[in-house]
Amino acid sequence: MKHSDANVLAPSGRLRVGLYPGSPTSFLAAQGQMPDRGLGFELGQGFASFLGVPFEPVLFPTNGEILSAVQQELLDLVLVNATPVRAQYLALAEPLLFTDQTYLVGPNCAVRSMTQIDTLGLKIGVSAGSTSEATLPGLLKHASVVPTQGLDQVVQLLQEGTLDAFATNATVLYELADRVTGATLLEGAWGTECIALGIPKRRESVLGVLRNFSQAAQVSGLVEQAIRRTGMRGARL
């Protein structure tokens, strides 16, 4: 590892990693005897060690706020759905895992299949600034798409029936289903997320360093172990 590469990747002297709580792909807070964990959190720790710099987790309520921060280079590393739009401002390594995008239906909604979801009057929640918010308006002609601010809010809105369903990747939906009694995860998918590490686009000259770490994280079992520690469901390597 060249010292100059570490300076480019972590110019503040610390690796600032963007995370949002409640998602096994990002960050799950310590609970009982379980320490802080999450794929993004553990990969951030690993990459900081790889670079020989301190690790600085930076928490945001939503993934959209993380993306805004990394565009301003207030963050050094993110774990995201690698879309063409995000590739315009992120230099991305190869995907580490894949997960389907589907819906979690709240206990007050009678929908039980993907074919019923696009119904006039139904309110489908999405995380503000997410792939779901960008994509679903083009797929749903009758149901309304409603931005939300954080997964705790989503739980409340599903429980009270203000939202009929919530759309995102299956790994997050399984976590939400555990928190919303009577919620139903629909079979099928409206899309697939390709989860990858990314750095600000202007640092693309050292993308090879990130790619080397990403590949090593897969080969060493770090990714698989992190997935196991979070109890992540709905993901495939």
Confidence at residue 31, expressed as pLDDT on a 0 to 100 scale: 87
What are the boundaries of each domain within the chain? 3-97+194-236, 99-191
Domains 3-97+194-236 and 99-191 share a fold: yes
Written as one string, the DSSP assignment of the chain is: --HHHHHHHSTTSSEEEEE-BTBTTTBB--BTTB-SB-HHHHHHHHHHHHHTS-EEEEE-SSHHHHHHHHHTTS-SBEEEE--TTGGGTEEE----EEEEEEEEE-TT----SGGGSS-TT-EEEEETTSHHHHHHHHH-SSSEEEEESSHHHHHHHHHHTS-SEEEEEHHHHHHHHHHSTT-EEPSS-SEEEEEEEEEEGGGGGGHHHHHHHHHHHHHTTHHHHHHHHHT--SEE-
Confidence at residue 1, expressed as pLDDT on a 0 to 100 scale: 58
How large is the angle between the packed helices 207-219 and 39-51, nearest 10 degrees? Answer: 120
CATH of 3-97+194-236, one of 1.10.10.350, 3.40.80.10, 3.40.190.10, 3.40.309.10: 3.40.190.10
Q: What is the mean pLDDT of each run of 10 residues along the chain (237 residues)?
A: 84 97 93 92 98 97 94 98 96 97 97 96 95 95 96 96 97 95 97 97 97 97 95 93
8 A C-beta contact, residue 128 and residue 147: yes
Confidence at residue 4, expressed as pLDDT on a 0 to 100 scale: 85
Strand partners, 58: 18
CATH of 99-191, one of 3.10.180.10, 3.40.190.10, 3.30.70.100, 3.40.50.300: 3.40.190.10
Confidence at residue 33, expressed as pLDDT on a 0 to 100 scale: 87
Confidence at residue 83, expressed as pLDDT on a 0 to 100 scale: 95
CB-neighbour burial class of residue 232 (10 A; exposed 0-12, middle 13-18, buried 19+) = buried
pLDDT digits (tens, 9 = 90+) for 42-77: 999 999 999 999 999 999 998 899 999 999 999 999
Confidence at residue 32, expressed as pLDDT on a 0 to 100 scale: 86
* b/e map 201-215, b = 16+ CB within 10 Å: bebeebbebbbebbe
Q: Look at strands 123-127 and 165-169 and give their pairing.
A: parallel
* C-alpha–C-alpha distance, residues 178 and 158, integer Å: 12
Confidence at residue 2, expressed as pLDDT on a 0 to 100 scale: 66
For residue 82, give the amino acid letter: A
Using CA atoms, how far residue 148 sits from 117, 139, 151, 158, 161, in Å, is 18, 19, 8, 11, 14
Confidence at residue 16, expressed as pLDDT on a 0 to 100 scale: 98
